[in-house]
Structure 1
Amino acid sequence: MYFWDQHKTITLYYEMITASTCDKYNLKKMEYDILMFLYHNPEYNTAADIVRIRKSTKSHVSTALKVLEDRGYITKKTNENNKKRVELFLEDSANEIVKEGLNVQNQFAHDMLQGLTQDEIKVCKKVFEKICKNAEECIQKKG
């Protein structure tokens, strides 16, 4: 099995189809990814959440968040119950980017699942979830 080589093909295609959105809005990939992450995961709305879940480096996330805040796409707010917790919120100015990003993500899913039956898609999702769970467990053991 050449999964470790082949998965890069999928990632490369995703980067290719998101590039036009990034270029259009003058966003780096990390900035775009963070906007989409916050949209899809409003319950994970801190820099630490992004680092932990996306496996990104703190410095890259911090830099991207600063740019997004400066450009008015996100707002940082201190949690009233926990003053150490700074939460991130998408601003309306990010709506157009997110809308375009959703279209790109839907196109990506359509292209990747083309020719698969609904049953095959269900199996793929289950298997992928198991692979991700295994990878997460391995990271925890070795990290």
Structure 2
Amino acid sequence: METRDILSGAKSFHKIYNQIIQTAAARHHLSLMDADIILFLYNNPDYDTAKDISYFRMLAKSGVSASVESLTGLGYLESHEDTADRRKIHLKLTDAAAPVARDLKRTQEDFFERLNRGISEEERQMFSDLLRRMMDNLKQT
């Protein structure tokens, strides 16, 4: 596989995924960043701080902070201080966010079903293993 194919494929994947999630977010009058945060918290309940979101989703801290503030104002997020470290703020989706989160999750699942159409479980596992090894190679430098 050529370098340009890898880079072009990654860029296309990201662009199409964002377009699909953006469309779902728009149904709920939310931004793509808002949708990313809702999906992240819905999919990763053990990682519940703005720092976690910024780190794992590779999003700007300022954008995450603004979106957290907006989602809190909409009643979709609530926050509470960590009992051991008051500087750490935990985020939690509210009941009001549940229908939005389920819709976004369904959209995300539909995207991945479409992406994996015609690809066997063995092929998916092989690709996952190769990608993991490539990422390990990058981390070693």
TM-score, length of structure 1 as denominator length? 0.89
Question: Given the alignment, which residue of 14, 20, 27 partners 2:17?
Answer: 14
Match of 1:48 in 2: 51
Secondary structure of the residue aligned to 1:99 is helix
Match of 1:89 in 2: 92
- Mapping for residues 13-92 of structure 1, pairs under 5 Å: 13-92=16-95
Shift of residue 14 of structure 1?
1.0
Shift of residue 126 of structure 1?
1.6
Question: Which amino acid is the alignment partner of residue 24 of structure 1?
Answer: R
| Identical pairs, percent | 25
Question: Given the alignment, which residue of 106, 116, 124 partners 2:127?
Answer: 124
CA distance in 2 between partners of 1:128 and 1:74 (Å): 34
Match of 1:106 in 2: 109
Shift of residue 134 of structure 1?
3.9
Q: Deviations over 1:53-93 (max 9, x none)?
A: 11111111111110011001110100122111110011011
- What RMSD over aligned residues (CA atoms) do the two structures have, in Å? 1.5
- Identify unmatched segments of 5+ residues in structure 2: none
CA distance in 1 between partners of 2:15 and 2:45 (Å): 26
Q: Kindly indicate whether the alpha-carbon contact (under 8 Å) linking 1:21 and 1:97 is maintained by their aligned counterparts in 2.
A: no
Q: Kindly indicate whether the alpha-carbon contact (under 8 Å) linking 2:25 and 2:104 is maintained by their aligned counterparts in 1.
A: no
Secondary structure of the residue aligned to 1:82 is coil
Secondary structure of the residue aligned to 2:124 is helix
Q: Deviations over 1:14-69 (max 9, x none)?
A: 12222221111111101100000011111111111111111111111111110011
- Identify unmatched segments of 5+ residues in structure 1: none
Secondary structure of the residue aligned to 2:45 is coil
CA distance in 1 between partners of 2:136 and 2:66 (Å): 29
- Describe the shift of the 1:132–1:92 C-alpha distance in structure 2 as closer, same or farther (beyond 3 A): farther
Question: Which amino acid is the alignment partner of residue 121 of structure 1?
Answer: R
Q: Deviations over 1:81-118 (max 9, x none)?
A: 21111100110111111111111111111111111111
Shift of residue 130 of structure 1?
2.7
